[in-house]
Every structure is written in C-alpha cells, then in structure tokens.
Chain A
Amino acid sequence: MTDLFTPAADWQRLPDRYVTVRWLGALAYNLVTTLVGVLAVGFLFDWGWAGALALVGLAWTGWRVIRAGRWVRSFGYAERDEDLLITHGLWNKRLTAIPYGRMLSVNVESGPIDRAWGLARVELVTASVQSAGHIPGLQQADAAALRDRLIAAGEAQALPL
C-alpha cells in the first residue's frame, strides 16, 4: 500500500515476540509506579484516594497492554537505496527518513527483557539529536545484520557534514 507514511518500499515489520516484551515492559513500569504512588498517597493522605489512584493506574496499564500489539504492528522500517525509512505511531503518526550518508554510527543495544526473548534494538546516530532513528525489538541476528548493512551503506555514500 502507498500512503503518506508507507511510501512504496520493502517494509519490514517487527517480530510478534516484541509485543510480549512491550507488555512486560508496560506491566513492570506501570505496576511499580502505580504501587509507589498508591502507597505514598495511602500513607500520607487517605486510603480512599489511594484506591482511586490504583484504579486509574490499572486502567492505564490495561490501555498500554491493549495498545502494545497495535503499536508494534504500526512500526515499520524500510531500507531503500539511499535512505532508511522508519514509521510508527497510532494517533500521532510519523515517518522519518535518514540518508545513509548522514549516519555517524549505529548502536545495537539489548536490555535484560530484550535478551530473554532474543531481541535487540538498533539505533542510528546522526549529527542531529532530533533524528531519533530507533528500531526496537529486532531479532538479534537481524539487528546485527541490519547494523552491518547500514554501516556499509553509510561508508559507501558518506556525505560531508
């Protein structure tokens, strides 16, 4: 399909396993923050308000868990001849195009949850901090291969800064 955010290209999607990782991430982060907030409010003010906060926290967690799958499916990247396209977002859609020639370095990172599912995150660094070329949740082998392809393309097409 061709629209504003997915121009004709060979679009790659993220593996389904990454949805689980996002779930876990959302659960871990939200439940901990909710618990801390609830305890703080409970001890300092009133347990009634703490209960309300707990409900809000749970609703928020549920919302993030429901959205995780759709967010992951909305994410895509495409390696074109001269640039890398990254698209994501459900309500706020965005499409970022980064020419290989502008890349300064490519990082591959993998946190403990990512590693347990054999995933890694690739980050493209340009001279601009706004570029934010992140591709999360790739399979580790894919991530390493993508990194090598990007570096090779970047070296072949380097543009002056």
Chain B
Amino acid sequence: MTADPGPVGFPPDALPPAAKLTERPHPLTPFIRGWVVLLAVVISIGREFLPNGEGSRPLPPLEIIFAVVAALAVAAGVAGYISWRFTRFIIDADELRVDTGAIFRRSIRIAFDKVQSIDVVQPFAARMFGLAELQIDIGSHERSKLRYLQLGRAYALRDYLLARARGYQAEAATTTRSVSLLTDLHETDEVLVQVLPQTLLLAAVTSHEFWGIVLGGLVFVTVGLAIGQWWVLLAAAVPTISGLFGFVSRRVTGQFNYTLSRREHGLRIARGLTSLTSQSLPARRVQAAQLSQSPLWRLLGLYRIDIEVIGWGAVTDNEDKSGVSTILLPAGSLAQVQVALAAIWPRADFTAVELSPAPLRARWLHPFSGPFLRWGHDQYLVVSRHGWLVRRWQLVPHARIQSVRVTQGLLSRRLGLADLEFHTAGMRIAAHASGVEAGVVLERQTELMALLHHPGPDVSEPFPPPTSDWSEARAQAGPEALRADQAEATISSTE
C-alpha cells in the first residue's frame, strides 16, 4: 500500500478536501470518570464504620466526614480538569492523533488505513448525560479510546473515521443522522437480525447456566435436609435466588435490543440497556464461529453464536460487561442464525454442509457425546458438532485455517479412529472433530489440504462480486498487485 489512502483506481484529484477537526473531550468527562472512583472510596471507607458484630467504631464527627469528602471531590475535580485540559483528539485530512497527559505527555497517532473497526460504547454513567466513548481497534491488543464525546458527535466521528479507513476522503460531519437513542440506526440501515427482550428473557431462563445454578441450590438444600438442618434451606435459597436474578438481568440488559444491521460501510451490532454498545463487525477478521444450544433450547429452536475475531483476544465474551463482545447472536432462531452467518460469510451455508456421524465404536471413547458427534466440510466451511447436553457446532472457513493436525492416541488407534484439529488464529474456539473414522481422514486429507491452499473466492466476499472499477483492475493485474489488493480489501471490508 502506498501512503495514498484512496483505493486502486480512485483518482486522488477527485477527492474533496477534508475539514480539520480538533476535538476535546466533553467537559463532563472528569465527573463521569471520577464518580466511580469516588463511590469506591466512599464505600470502602464507609465499610470500616459499619457495625460488624465486634463493637462498631464510633463515627467521626459529621464535619470531618464532610471535609474529607469535599477534599476528595476537589482533588478529583482538579485532577480531572487537568487531564481534560491536556487531552485532545486531532482528526483531519492527514492524521488521527490522541494527545493526553499533563506531566507525562503521550501522543498516539493512528494511520487511517490501519483502523480495523470502531466501536461506540456508552457506560451507564456516561449514558445518563448522553455521552459516549469511541474505541478504535487497530488490530493490536490495545484499543485507543476517545472519551467522552457527545453521542451524536461520537457517531459522526465513527462514520467519518470508517469512511477514511475505507480510503475515502469523507467530509467530516459534525452531527449524525442517527435517530434512535436505543439502537444507533439510520433510516438507510438494513436491519438483519433483531432480538426481542422477551426472547432474551426466555433464552436466559431456559439456558443451561440458569439450570446449573438451580441445580447447585437444590443439591445444597437436599444435603441440608438429609442432615436435618432447616436453616440450610434459607442459606441456600438466598444466594441461589439472587444469583438467578443477577444472571437473568445481566443477560437481558446486556443484550437488550440486540440489532445486527448493515450500513454502506459494513456490519454493525448495537445492544445494551443501561450501557449501550455499538460495535462494528469486521467480517474478514472473523476466524471461526461456534453455535451452541442448551438442552431446553432444542425444544424452543434457539441458538447462540460466538465468534473468534483476530485481535479481539482480550475483549469480553460474557454478557455482564459493557463494551465490545464476541457474541454474534445472543439467542435466535435457526433463520436468524443463518442470516447472521450469511452477513459475515455470504458464500457459506453451514446447513448445506453434509455431516457424517462418528462410527458406533467412537462411543467407547466418547460415551456421552458419541451419538452426537458429526463432522463434514464443503467448499467453504469445515463444520463439526459436539456435545451431549449442550450441543455445539464449530464452523471454520477453509480460508481461515492456519494448519491442520491429525492425532491418534493408543485407544483410538485400536478402534481405527482419529481426531482432527483445525488451528485458527485465536484461542477461544478450538475447532476440532473427534472420533472420525481413520480411513475417512486418510481419504479426505488431500482434499482438505487442497481447499486450504486454494480456498477460492473468500467466504466473506458477497456472492455477486462487486463490479466496481477496482475489482476489474484486480482481475487484470498480476499476482503482486493481487496480493496488495487483498490487503486493501482486508482493510476496507473490516469496518
């Protein structure tokens, strides 16, 4: 890639000049960042004075308490003001820079074309003031954060940066057309999947995690009754019920109003009730996906999709944290699953992959999951299924597999079985197929490897290939240009 961010075949002269933007965090930022700290300090000090059974300490006079709180507030305010005063976001035609720090100055400059995705996150405190945080993902473990901006500004900046990342000299807009407070949707957006709160609630109370907590409580109660101690009933009931309540509310509020939508620059997921997250989904960087289904979900026809994205190793995969998550679909029907997967891999259809069951003798090695083991592949995907209670499907596109391993232990050799591992760039979804007939592996080895080397058109490429001028240029250019072009496409489509 050259320094020119324009895509191949896009005449640089035609680019409109971009406006210069120097952005300060919103003046309320120090308060929002500080209130959590203040609260924590107050709670931890306050706890010292709570009655704790061994003679509570006398409370200090009220004046002293007020003085301490006031001093803390002033100190936090001054620190916050200084940090606010020296923080600047510079966004113009040439650069994207974040300057912070009063004593230790720090200046981070990000190349526009390295921007992989941008997420708008609204923690609860910021949400109350209509502010939001912008997270810039450049594929490394550390995300640059611009916080806090007004929500409209944050969305506008996001759209601008994403356009720049795709190589367009977009006009830096000062506001955005986003209409809803809850969903970050334009009128032009195409909504692909929307999960209703009642579905989330139903999914939460029928999930295996929920019943795991119930079962834990029941075991405790049974033991208590068996030894004739009635108080155990209460001791078990309270944490179990609060645990269940917390679990369900986290699942529902965290994924509230889940919406997967497509805008001109790519896919976007918005969700959350108390803290709103709007994250962009870089389809090309999705390495693998895992569908899972709790036992009761089988009756309801619900599935959940988790994905593995390069460079998102540190992001959270559970529902209770705000921010970016690797959940592609918290709960949805098979049709929604297909739509969501088609959004990231338009060419692949996992339901069309022919799955072959593990042979009967695999049950010696996998007594519970044996009857449910399946695996298969087609031109685009490798699919394997596991699990006895919780059913899991692992989907990996051939184009994302880094290496393949066949393993065989002493027992499986005797049984004529083998296991396959598909290594992708990422640790969370370790795609594998267990209890495969050794003969089949031997037979398919060459075919699998050939698909690995020559995956054909990328699974993330939409079916009717775009007939813009630069895809033609790509077709005419030699192999060198092709490789450079793939890099371009990787960046531009990852918004």
Contacts and interface: CB of A to CB of B under 8 A. Distances in A.
Contacts of B408: 4-5, 92-94
Given A4-B438, A99-B453, A127 B425 contact: yes
B370 to A, nearest CB: 20
B442 interface: yes
A94 B405 contact: yes
A7 interface: yes
Contacts of A79: none
Nearest to B487: A160
Contact of A160 (B421, B438, B486): B486
A9 to B, nearest CB: 11
A83 interface: yes
A4 B416 CA distance: 10
A73 B486 CA distance: 42
A108 interface: no
A94 B420 CA distance: 10
A4 B410 contact: no
Nearest to B285: A161
A4 B441 contact: yes
A131 B403 contact: yes
A30 interface: no
Given A92-B408, A131-B403, A160-B486, A101 B453 contact: yes
Interface string A41-66: 00000000000000000000000000
A94 B407 contact: yes
A96 B449 contact: no
Given A94-B407, A130-B430, A82 B449 contact: yes
Given A4-B418, A102-B403, A129 B449 contact: no
Contacts of A94: 405-408
Contacts, number: 93
A95 interface: yes
B141 interface: no
B374 interface: no
B449 A83 contact: yes
Contact of B402 (A4, A7, A128): A128
Interface string A66-90: 0000000000000000110000010
Given A127-B402, A128-B426, A157 B453 contact: yes
B338 to A, nearest CB: 26
A128 B403 contact: yes
A151 interface: no
B26 interface: no
B449 A99 contact: yes
A128 B424 contact: yes
Nearest to A127: B425
A133 interface: yes
Interface in A9-44: none
Contacts of A130: 402-403, 405, 421, 423, 427, 430
Contacts of B240: none
Given A92-B409, A93-B407, A126 B402 contact: yes
A129 to B, nearest CB: 7
A131 to B, nearest CB: 4
A106 interface: no
Contacts of B418: 4
B405 A158 contact: no
Contact of A97 (B310, B403, B427, B438): B403
Interface in B435-462: 438, 441-442, 445-446, 449, 452-453, 455, 458
B96 interface: no
B490 interface: yes
Nearest to B427: A129
Among A83, A93, A95, A130, residue most surrounded by chain B Cβ atoms (within 10 Å):
A130
A138 interface: no
A143 interface: no
Given A127-B310, A127-B402, A161 B407 contact: no
B483 interface: yes
A82 B455 CA distance: 13
Interface string A114-141: 0000000000001111110100000000
Nearest to B483: A158
Given A92-B410, A129-B427, 9 more contacts: A92-B407, A93-B409, A94-B407, A95-B407, A96-B403, A96-B405, A127-B310, A130-B430, A131-B402
13 contacts: A4-B406, A7-B442, A91-B409, A93-B408, A95-B407, A99-B403, A102-B403, A126-B403, A127-B402, A128-B426, A129-B427, A130-B402, A159-B399
**The 4 nearest A-B residue pairs measured at CB:** A127-B425, A128-B402, A128-B423, A130-B423
